[in-house]
Structure 1
Amino acid sequence: MTQAEDPESSLVSLDSADLISLLAVAGWDKQGGRSHIYERWAVREDDELLSVLVPLDRTRDDYIDLLEEALSSLERSRLAGAQRVVSRLRAPGDEVQWQKEPHVVRGLIPWLHGEAMIASAKQILVAAAKAARHPSAYHGQREWKFAREYLEKVLMGQTQVGSYVVTAYTPVGQIRETEGASREIESSLSGTTTGRDVMERLTSSLIATRESVDHFTSTGSLSGFDAGIVHGISCELTRALSALVKDSDGARVSVIWSPVGRPPALSGSTWKMDFIPDDLPALERASSRLATTEPRRTVVIVGTVTNLSRPRLGQHGTIILNVIYGVAVSRVRVRLSRADYEHAISAHKEGDLLRITGTLEKEGNNYWLYDPTELGPVEAGAFNEMFGSVDTDLMPD
């Protein structure tokens, strides 16, 4: 029997309050007791009832004996409610689940999609671990050593009946075991990062992502993803979420907080966040935006209008500007308001050049001009006097 399976070693750090919290999360009901002495908890499944007595007074001589008896009852039982508690005791830590609704028979998933789902779950954990150390739009190889050390302490749990589920048990305490001078250096440079810190960064990043997706859906702006970087949003996270949601009817990430360790910042014993296929355009756009290494910059561009498109008449639209002067980029995409889009249509019909001021950003292989202002036509032959040189800081795409 390993240490993790040894009841006595499990009870060394187990407190009755921890066991009661686990019973409550697993769906057990309190069935009475004596104040400050013990509580009785029970669970009923089908026609079978199981109850355990949980001691409360650690000063009593029979405290450990009663805890051992309660744990033994849970381990002997085959009830799902009992096994959920035992699994949490054997793998202490925060429980994370990735749940996906694939387009097949409920509870099954195509093999390659299942592999991709596990890879997405891993990438989400890696992104959270890196962001817990250093929030960044694009992590790359930064903080990979810490992320690897974190993954080495994560355990994979069993799946569940119903939707396809990937389960992980994540550590609560300190990740790096440093001693002596190395511990002082670690603390002075970046402080101690715990597994609970990583889980809190995971939840904060998913909350920020959900808000940013909703903001993009209503406004067409990706600014929420930029603001959410400090909360853990990154290119790697949005890519992993895109892969998780793809080929499904929806996906969910949930966390069941372990009662061990300091209380999490979020209240409640459980937390969850849902994403749906309609979120994919925002997630994919955001991952391209966050992957860019070029700085945002305000530019003035002159070019010819082509590729006009908009959802329906009277709404905002998107154009592609073939750049003649302003920056060394051959094409720039611009999302315009209704009024500016009508001006772009007019310039396209008349064959006029269009002058636009905005913020130039690269998303994937495409350049976008955001927050366009000062949009207007430029007479043929006049633009050369207005713009004397091409911006060579950016190379053509």
Structure 2
Amino acid sequence: MARALYIHWPFCLAKCPYCDFNSHVRDSVDVAAWQAALLADLRHEAEIAGGEPLHSIFFGGGTPSLMPPALVEALLAEAEKLWGFAPDVEITLEANPSSVEAANFAALSSAGVNRVSLGLQSLDDSALRFLGRLHDASEGLTALETAQSVFARVSFDLIYALPDQTEDHWREQLSRALGFGTGHLSLYQLTIEPGTRFATDVRRGGFMPLDDDRAADLFAITRELTTDAGLPPYEISNHARPGEESRHNLTYWRYDDYAGIGPGAHGRRGGLATMRHKKPENWIDAVSRNGHGLKEERALGVAEQASEALLMGLRLAEGVDLEALGKRLALAPASLIQPDKLIHYARLGLAWEEGSRVGVTSEGMPLLDALLAELVTDELALA
């Protein structure tokens, strides 16, 4: 049964040039219609995946901080009625740091949100302009101060490895960010995703992405500074003080069940992969017809589940317990990882093995994608 719930709000004020998420710009949104549809989608999932109190809820997007607080409150009230909440439930909402959205923070807190993930993305005005952000650095820091005064827990995102970014620039930016005292940071290298405006710009010669060697140097600086500041990496791009890790994201990375509602939302429950209609208009039409926004509900084979669990779990500093995963999926632990490759990369200092638990070292994390292709057994990789 799902103990985590993801709610997708797909609307943004503008589409960022690096973003490949399911986000859309619309002139207006019929809030009453969206509330009715989200509640219907929520009830459908609860009928199937209810039974245990929720330990985390995550409002993602899009830009959920554009949601009217009354809508957030209505969804949380219904989720609590349908599932129940664990005593220490984590309720996160992604927010952009515009003054319009920051003005909603107190009302969102009163609605039940107790953790915010703030998309600062940079502390540098020129970088923010390059990234297509609507806020400047001063507005971002004002929003951060407001968030810290309102919410029990605050995280914020930064994007680094921008074109021509130097080690000194990133070291100064990150040192400053660590001085704000939040318990969690999400630090992402800029990646050029297919279908984005940045992909078009690169193809046309508008700019050159930072080369891999220089990006790896910035990654090493990131790990050094966050560890020294008491926010070590617990996942390849996420850093937290002990006890302040994102409980919701750990649900994904530990391959536990979760329900997902709203346009394009994915879920995993009872060996099934669920996917909602992606385009907002198609999703809301489906809810009107069927009482839910599901586009696909597909049974996952055991090998595919094992592959997903490894691909997610090896992102974590804690790695994966092969014995526990094998028991859960009725597979021999030795069938999950290529033992000769594990020994080889452990000798190189890129992987580790402790009892039945295996993982990727800090030195191996910059090479994670290549290591996953090597470590996961051929049968699972092809699942």
Q: TM-score, normalised by structure 1?
A: 0.22
Structure 1 or 2: more strand by fraction: 1
Q: Whose Rg is larger? A: 1
Larger relative contact order, structure 1 or 2 (CA cutoff 8 Å, min sep 6): 2
